[in-house]
Amino acid sequence: MSVLVLTLIILVGSYFAGLLGSLTGLGGGVVIIPLLTIGLGVNIHYAIGASLVSVIATSSGSAAAYVKEGITNMRIGMFLEIATTTGALIGAMLSLVIHAPVIAVIFGVILIFSAIMSLRKKDTTVLQNESVWAQKLKLNGSYPTADGEIIKYSVRKVGGGFIMMLFAGVISGLLGIGSGSLKVVAMDSIMRVPFKVSTTTSNFMIGVTAAASAVVYLQRGYIDPALAMPVVIGVLLGALTGSKILVNSNSSGWLRWVFAVIVTILAGQMIYNGLSGKI
């Protein structure tokens, strides 16, 4: 297979990965890494390196828009990034000593969890009983609705959310994904941040988390420009297309089911190849 054909395959595959990731809010890394490792036989460490670069690019692009709209809670994001970046550095260093088959199995398990999270019914309840730590750190906030109404919300269980973010950072650094599903769990289910705020704040955070991990991979030579370039371009174009589809779509329920089925199949392949030593 020529280099040009291989590059085009990676570009097209990355486009659909970015499209699916954008439509479900879980990022393209969950599709990119199986595509590269299972489909094209790329070493999993190089696949993770390319995925991390694409996460940084897509997060930087979309996060700016959400911050401008006033939806993202910057204080929560900056506070929880202390946990995610610390975890990401730990995860990135662990990935260099853990055998590839083990990483593949862990990745498969996280994929299944991501598929379940993509189908989970979102709780839009805004609670007003706030945490003492949320008051001290000034984490409570508000966000505008489409009608121009300002909705205020309070944050709970700051400590529990911080610990969950540390774990999300480790997974992000270990597997090269944004681990958006884990971040949303921390903010949405534990800290009870409104789902709209938790998803946009998570998007703001995953780029910083990925950047911390990418430094370790770059130092070890696992970021190959020839591989990362088509991945980044493809994922960015796919994410842009996905955002336009969402704006014009009344419901994305069927898209989440498609994503869940695809991710579950990929998870099974990753676990099988990991257990059989094919990765």
Separation of alpha carbons 76 and 188, rounded Å: 12
For residues 137-159, give the mean pLDDT: 85
Provide the pLDDT confidence category of residue 204 given band limits of 50, 70 and 90: confident
Average pLDDT for residues 118-127, to the nearest whole number?
A: 57
Bigger pLDDT: 229 or 203? 229
Model pLDDT, residue 80: 92
Tens digits of residue pLDDT in 206-224 = 888 888 888 888 988 999 9
**Residue 188: predicted pLDDT:** 77
- Distance separating alpha carbons of residues 156 and 83, to the nearest angstrom: 17
Pair of tokens at residue 264: 């579950």
pLDDT band for position 181 (50/70/90)? low
Please state, as a whole number, how many other Cβ atoms lie within 10 Å of the Cβ of residue 78.
14
Check whether 108 has a pLDDT greater than 60. Answer: yes
- Residues above pLDDT 90, as percent of the chain: 16
pLDDT given for residue 163 in this prediction: 93
Average pLDDT of the residues in 72-93: 91
Question: Residue 248 pLDDT more than 90?
Answer: no
Which pLDDT score, from 0 to 100, does residue 207 have? 80
Contact by Cβ (8 Å): 134, 272: no
pLDDT band at 257 (very low <50, low <70, confident <90, very high): confident
Query: Mean pLDDT in the chain?
Result: 81
Mind giving me the DSSP string for 80-121? HHHHHHHHHHHHHHHHTTS-HHHHHHHHHHHHHHHHHHHHSP
pLDDT for 65:
67
Mean pLDDT, rounded, for 28-47: 85
- Give residue 125's pLDDT: 52
Q: Which of 27-36, 157-166, 182-191 has the highest mean pLDDT?
A: 157-166
- For the whole model, what pTM was predicted? 0.76
